[in-house]
Amino acid sequence: MLSSIKKRLVALSFLLFSILFSVLGLFLYRQIESLLMASVDGHLHSEMQLIAGFIDSENGHFEMELSEAEVGEYALPLSGHYYQILSGSGEIIARSPSLSIVDTHLPPAARSMEPSYYTIEGPDKGPLRVMSQSYALAGGSITIQAGETLDETYRLIASFRNMIIIIFPSFFIFSLAGLTAITRFSLKRVDSFSEKVGKITEKNLKERLEVEGVESELRPLAESFNVMMGRIEESFEMQKQFMSDASHDLRTPASVVKSYCDVTLMKDRTAAEYRETLEKISSMISRMSRSISRILDVARLDSEAFSLNLSRVDLKEIVIEAMKYFETKALSSDIKMTCSGDSVILLGDRDRLSDAISNIVENAIKYNRPEGVVHISVGEDEEWAVVEIADSGRGMNASEVNRIFERFYRIDASRGEEEGSGLGLPIVKRIIERHKGKIDVKSEVGRGSCFTLFLPLDIE
Ligand code: ADP
């Protein structure tokens, strides 16, 4: 339900505002209530002082002086302003005309030298605040009670309460509406982002989110998205390129096979002619199947699911095996292969490393000159196991060296001359990278090339 940021923000603010406004309203209400009560109590206290002042006079003038307090509100019946004086034994010895005219009195208070304040129902049935205090007199004590109606105070408190009940919710509703508008405005950019992102398909992968003038909170998101789109676009282009190169690579031998068949079938042939055609077809099919397995290798090495089957392997052993494998091929071109260095043990995937080294050794023979040499050395330094494969072949210029690890890249001169797919070195690179290693290539046109593989001695 609250999966939308806007709704969540508004709901949370609603909750927060409700709590804040309720607490603030309650606090203000309590403050006002206690202030007003304190003011009533203060007034009662002054009245009490006044009445006590009359009584403190000489005993003989008690009645006469007290009559000075029997004016104003005290003189009006049930006016809400009362006083009453009790003798030490609790009898009423004097009271304000506001009580005596209607012959009523306040509930007598207990004797206490400390002033006490309390609220009762007054003689006029309204709320009455009463202060009572006892005073010691010569030969006894008296208790004075002064009362003041709380009607006005309660009316003030009620109107303040009503004000809170009306003003706060309206203030609250306005702030909520403002907050909703602000939230909607602030998230407008997110809406425009999602609208733009929603329109991106494989046909418009070049689309990017604007970064200039974007709010600082959203800029990293837009930048990361653009970087991600760049990577997706690049890999999408690579996939497209790969598909088209792969189909091209397979289409050529397939059309050669087709034309062999068509030409052979044009008329009756001798058994020898059929044999010759079948041999050509078989060689083409072998070339295609090699290409297919290379394409599959590339796809497999690209997939994240591809994992290395690690074990302790001896690089020298792998190199010797590769040399043995290509011995016949080297001999047929009068190429001499030599190897130096001791065993180097490291953690690696034996089959994959063997694929990588074989590939480079095969190239060193393939792109060599007749009676050339291939020298392989195996060694190690503190960090790396190093395999160096040097040949005396035709070499490559710098721009060619920069491109040989691209898929399907073959130097023009080698096209047609030597069989190949242009997938060998990209596979080598991927295998070495998976081993957290690196490849260095040095080459000079007409003099030869040297491929150096660096493999970490411990890849864990
Ligand atoms: P291929 O199947 O064509 O051998 P690779 O990916 O193994 O594909 O090599 C890519 C290209 O790099 C080759 O076509 C070749 O032109 C060039 N190349 C690779 N190794 C050498 C080498 N030792 N000497 C000269 N050129 C080389």
Instruction: Name the residue at shortest CA distance from atom 23 of ligand 1.
Output: 364
* Mean pLDDT estimate for the chain: 87
CA–CA gap between residue 302 and residue 430 (Å, rounded): 8
Using CA positions, which residue lies closest to atom 7 of ligand 1? 424
Ligand 1 centroid to 414 CA: how many Å? Answer: 8
Q: Residue 409 CA: which ligand 1 atom is closest?
A: 10
Q: Please give the pLDDT value at position 305.
A: 63
Q: Which of 329, 365, 388, 425 to mutate to test the pocket of ligand 1 (most atoms within 8 A of CB)?
A: 425
Which of 86-100, 301-315, 345-359 shows the highest mean pLDDT?
Answer: 345-359
Residue 254 alpha carbon to ligand 1 centre in Å? 23
Q: How far is the CA of 39 from the centre of ligand 1 (A)?
A: 102
Signed CA dihedral, 279, 284, 288, 290: sign only: positive
Measured in degrees and rounded to the nearest 5, phi and psi for residue 425 equal -70, -35
Quote the ligand 1 centre to 410 CA distance (angstroms).
6
Helices (H) and strands (E) in the chain, counts: 12, 12
Cα 42 to the center of its chain, rounded Å: 60
To test the pocket of ligand 1, the residue of 337, 367, 418, 432 to mutate (highest count of ligand atoms within 8 Å of its CB) is 367
Measured in angstroms, how far is the CA atom of residue 401 from the centroid of ligand 1? 9
- The tens digit of pLDDT for each residue in 166-180 reads 888 888 788 888 888
Pocket of ligand 1 (CB under 6 A): 359, 363-364, 367, 391, 393-394, 396, 404, 409-411, 414, 420-425, 449
Measured in Å, residue 301 CA sits from the centre of ligand 1 at 19
Instruction: Tell me: pLDDT of 65 over 90.
Output: no
Point out the ligand 1 atom lying closest to the alpha carbon of residue 418: 3
Q: How many residues does the structure list for the chain?
A: 460
413 Cα nearest atom in ligand 1? 16
Instruction: Note the pLDDT of residue 200.
Output: 87
Residue 363: is it exposed, middle or buried by C-beta count within 10 angstroms (0-12/13-18/19+)?
A: buried
- 10 Å Cβ neighbour count for 272? 8
- Residue of 207, 243, 242 lying closest to 226 (CA atoms): 207
DSSP 247-305: HHHHHHHHHHHHHHHHHHHTS---HHHHHHHHHHHHHHHHHHHHHHHHHHHHHHHHSTT
CA of 422 to the centre of ligand 1 (A): 7
Q: Note the pLDDT of residue 404.
A: 94
Mean pLDDT of 14-24: 86
CB 102 within 8 A of CB 77: yes
Please state, in angstroms and rounded to a whole number, the distance separating the CA atoms of residues 257 and 282. 9
Residue 73 to residue 147: CA distance in whole angstroms: 11
CA of 386 to the centre of ligand 1 (A): 21
* pLDDT band for position 246 (cuts 50, 70, 90): confident
- For ligand 1, the distance from its centroid to the CA atom of residue 396, given in whole angstroms, is 9
pLDDT at 1: 56
Q: Which of 249, 335, 363 to mutate to test the pocket of ligand 1 (most atoms within 8 A of CB)?
A: 363
How confident is the model at residue 413, as a pLDDT? Answer: 45
**Mean pLDDT (whole number) for 301-312:** 79
pLDDT digits 0-9 by tens, 410-425? 886 444 556 777 889 9
- pLDDT tens, 203-217? 888 888 888 888 888
The predicted pLDDT at position 64 comes to 44
Q: What percent of the chain is modeled with pLDDT above 70?
A: 93
Distance 295 CA to ligand 1 centre (A): 16
Q: Which residues contact 153 (CB under 8 A, 6 or more apart)?
A: 36, 37, 39, 40, 129
When pLDDT is averaged across residues 394-417 and rounded to a whole number, the result is 81
Residue minimizing CA distance to atom 13 of ligand 1: 410
CA distances from 174 to 7, 14, 186 (A): 17, 11, 18
- The model's pTM: 0.56
Predicted confidence band of residue 59 (pLDDT cuts 50, 70, 90): low
Torsion, Cα of 394, 397, 399, 405 (10° steps): 30
Ligand 1 atom 20: residue of nearest CA: 363
Question: What distance in Å separates the CA atoms of residue 408 and residue 319, rounded to the nearest whole number?
Answer: 26
CA 105, 110, 116, 119 torsion: positive or negative? negative
Q: Which H or E run includes 137?
A: strand 127-137
